[in-house]
Amino acid sequence: MDRRWIVLAAVFLARTSMGYQFQSIGSVGPFLISELAIDLAVLGSLIGAYKLPGLFLAIPSGMLGQRFGEKSLLVLGMLLMAVGGVMSARSGSVDVMYVGRILSGVGAVAFNVLSSKMIADWFAERELTVAMSIHVNSWPFGIALGLATQAAFAEAYSLSGMLMMSALFCGAGVLLLLFGASNRQVPAPGGSASLKFGLGGREFLLVSTAAMIWMLFNANLIVVVSFAPAYLVSQGYEAIAAGQLASTGIWIGVVAVPLGGLIVQKWINGDLFMVAMFLGGAAATMSLIFLDDRLIAFIAIGLLAWSPAGAIIAVPVQILSPANRAMGMGIFFSYYYLGIGILPSVAGYLGDVTGDPAAPILFATALLLLALCSLITLRLLQRRTLVT
């Protein structure tokens, strides 16, 4: 088998554990609210705490990857995720759980930035959109596993046991990376590896705007999967049934994401596909509130809202020069982590202030429309910089 597909498979499975661990809070939101006497805003901040370290560490992760290579930092990141998971599982308080989530998030930063760079290096010459679609699909795949199993596990055994299971999943990811992942050398700025900021003003502006698309797109996914179970419970669903129903959209998305990548690779312009999916996805997210059959709503969300992931993540790879790819992906993910660290809390705050559990879902709808605005802005900026 071609080495690059082995690398992709190993990174996919390891990254699945990251999605599973991240979702371990959102899946058991009703249990945490009851056992720890917290509100939706605190639940949202626990969810966002996993992503917040990326605001400070994404760019340094890219720089370190540029200097030392990706594989060693991927392994270190996965180890930190496992340690943080154990801390969260063993804690009996919200404060300690925050620390565990942040530590896991530190590891996830390095993993997320450098795994994307590793796959981009292996597939830059051909099949990039398909490969990146498969790669980013590992995140929702892990979330779907979490939604389908974590609430049931916590109810049957314990909340602590469920969190420990997610930590062990990350531990298994370490072995996958050690034996399956490998670096592919690309030219560094100036012909050698260096710890420096190599992007020019144009590349920085364009990758920053592209990052807004990715941030808003992912924030929609996270807000939906994190707050949909609580919303469904408010509508009379049992907690386990709510989580399993919400997972339907993710499972559909697991198929839709690589299919969307294949469609863009073979038949349709990526921008047209993203525009159609952002509009359709916003309508599908809104339908979760107004449709009586929530299953249809989640199927539509999976098919429309989350299918353009591969097309979006390919954008910065196409913008950045190979020599600046590690640094550029660090910048790209800095914006992503900023949004993901803050926006779930905003969604929870809106739910608390309005007293309406549907408010986070409405907020998620708006996020996709803002992603569409960011895409339009990016293309206008590219046209302007080319003209000037």
| Least confident window among 13-17, 80-84, 241-245 | 241-245
Long-range contact set of residues 378-382: C-beta below 8 Å, sequence gap at least 24: 378/206, 378/209, 378/210, 378/213, 378/315, 379/271, 381/205, 381/206, 381/209, 382/206
User: Residue 273: is its pLDDT beyond 80?
Assistant: yes
Residues 228-252, mean pLDDT to the nearest whole number: 82
What six digits make up the tokens of 223? 């807000």
Look over the chain and give the mean of its residue pLDDT values, rounded to a whole number: 83
CA dihedral 153→158→162→164, nearest 10 degrees, is -150
Question: For tokens 């879902």, what's the residue?
Answer: 361
Higher-confidence residue of 262 and 12: namely 12
Element of type H or E holding 201: helix 201-234
Asked if residue 88 lies in contact with residue 49, where contact means CB atoms within 8 angstroms, the answer is: no
CA dihedral 150→152→156→160, nearest 10 degrees, is 20
How buried is 64 (Cβ within 10 angstroms: 0-12 exposed, 13-18 middle, 19+ buried)? buried
User: Residue 268: is its pLDDT beyond 90?
Assistant: no
Under the banding of pLDDT at 50, 70 and 90, the label for residue 285 is very high
What is the spatial distance between Cα 312 and Cα 89, in angstroms, rounded to a whole number? 34
pLDDT in tens, 172-195: 988 888 888 777 765 554 444 444
What is the spatial distance between Cα 328 and Cα 258, in angstroms, rounded to a whole number? 24
108 three-state secondary structure: helix
Closest to 101 (Cα-Cα) out of 151, 41, 167: 167
How buried is 269 (Cβ within 10 angstroms: 0-12 exposed, 13-18 middle, 19+ buried)? exposed
Residues 257-269, mean pLDDT to the nearest whole number: 82
Q: What is the pTM of this model?
A: 0.75
pLDDT for the residue numbered 217 = 93
**Residue 31: partners with Cβ closer than 8 Å, 6 or more residues away:** 151, 154, 155, 159, 239
Closest to 44 (Cα-Cα) out of 219, 271, 178: 219
Residue at 190 is within a domain: no
**Residue 196: partners with Cβ closer than 8 Å, 6 or more residues away:** 63, 189
What is the spatial distance between Cα 109 and Cα 333, in angstroms, rounded to a whole number? 8
Higher-confidence residue of 159 and 186: namely 159
* End-to-end Cα distance, the chain: 46
CA distance readout (Å), 32 to 44, 65, 154, 176, 239: 11, 37, 10, 31, 12
Residues 235-243, mean pLDDT to the nearest whole number: 80
> Which range is most confident: 13-27, 182-196, 228-242?
13-27
Domain of residue 114 covers 3-185+196-387
Residue at 82 is within a domain: yes
What is the spatial distance between Cα 377 and Cα 213, in angstroms, rounded to a whole number? 10
Residue at 29 is within a domain: yes
DSSP letter for 258, please.
H
Under the banding of pLDDT at 50, 70 and 90, the label for residue 278 is very high
User: Residue 388: is its pLDDT beyond 60?
Assistant: no
What is the spatial distance between Cα 121 and Cα 132, in angstroms, rounded to a whole number? 11
For the beta carbon of residue 182, count every other beta carbon within 10 angstroms.
Answer: 16
List the CATH number of the domain containing 167: 1.20.1250.20
User: Residue 282: is its pLDDT beyond 80?
Assistant: yes
User: Residue 249: is its pLDDT beyond 80?
Assistant: yes
Residue at 191 is within a domain: no
Residue at 84 is within a domain: yes
Residues 120-137, mean pLDDT to the nearest whole number: 79
Buried/exposed 120-141: b ≥16 CB within 10 Å, e otherwise: bbbbbeebbbbbbbbbbbbbbb
pLDDT in tens, 30-73: 777 877 777 777 887 888 788 778 778 877 877 777 777 778 88
What is the number of structural domains in the chain? 1
| Least confident window among 72-81, 334-343, 356-365 | 334-343
Residue at 101 is within a domain: yes
